[in-house]
Amino acid sequence: MTDISGKVAVVTGASAGIGEAIARNLAEAGAKLVLVARRRERLEALARELGGDTAVLAVDLAEEDAPERMLAFVEKHFGRADILVNNAGMLRVGTFETFDLAEVRPTIALNYESIVRSSILFARTMKAAGSGQIVNISSIGAGITTAGTGIYGGLKRALESFTDVLRIELAGSGVRVGLVAPGTTGTEIFDDMKAHGQPGWDEFIPALEPEDVARAVRFIVEQPPRANMARVHVYSASEGF
């Protein structure tokens, strides 16, 4: 396994849930962290707890120029990024009859466009440096076709296709690209459903914990340079998809 001690790891959506768990896990492995999310107070509290070389960037990644600002911030503070984990995302569900069309563009901006932009920008700098690792957080929803999930699942499916192609384009460059597709995980992502009177998916089965997904991310980034772990699916033991 590769020692990632001293590596600079950028984690988006790091203020809670899976992102926070990934940041904690990579910090335990000795990585320097750049914590990215909208909620500065939470990021700063986590940074104080983690200690070490940890930087905080409060930004809304749905904004078009946010990925460029993120890269500039990382290069200013650490000079480079060795690991990028694109975790930030949102869940909006509904059938064609019930989906709020006002949510379409924000969902695309955060769940797809921001990850594409960040992946491309960081991939270019990593390729120039001759090494790097990009991990995009998808969902098992990318492979599930069920009423109400068309937009969320469709964007995750598009993200997986993009991630696979980026991996192929960077083959042999020293930059590795992979994805983690979690199953139902108990996080704030279901808060919007619950706020609208719907039960969250994490209420139907014993859900994964964020730490379960974080371990999968660490497994990917600790692979030796000769190995590229392209896809890791992590299901709850109670899911039968």
Contact between residue 46 and residue 22 where contact means Cβ atoms under 8 Å apart: no
What is the rounded CA–CA span in Å between residue 232 and residue 96?
31
Cβ neighbours for 82, distance < 8 A, ≥ 6 positions apart: 4, 7, 8, 9, 31, 126, 131, 132, 133
What is the rounded CA–CA span in Å between residue 227 and residue 241?
28
Taken in order 219, 225, 227, 229, is the CA torsion positive or negative?
positive
DSSP type of residue 199:
P
* Residue 28: how many other CB atoms lie within 10 Å: 11
User: Strand, coil or helix: what is 134?
Assistant: strand
Provide Rg for the chain, Cα atoms. 17
Structure token digits, residue 241? 């998809």
Tokens 């719907």, residue located:
198
What is the rounded CA–CA span in Å between residue 185 and residue 206?
9
Catalytic residue, from 78, 152, 190, 201: name it: 152
Q: Would residue 235 show up in a list of annotated catalytic residues for this protein?
A: no
The residues pairing with 148 across neighbouring beta strands, listed in sequence order, are none
Active site residues: 152
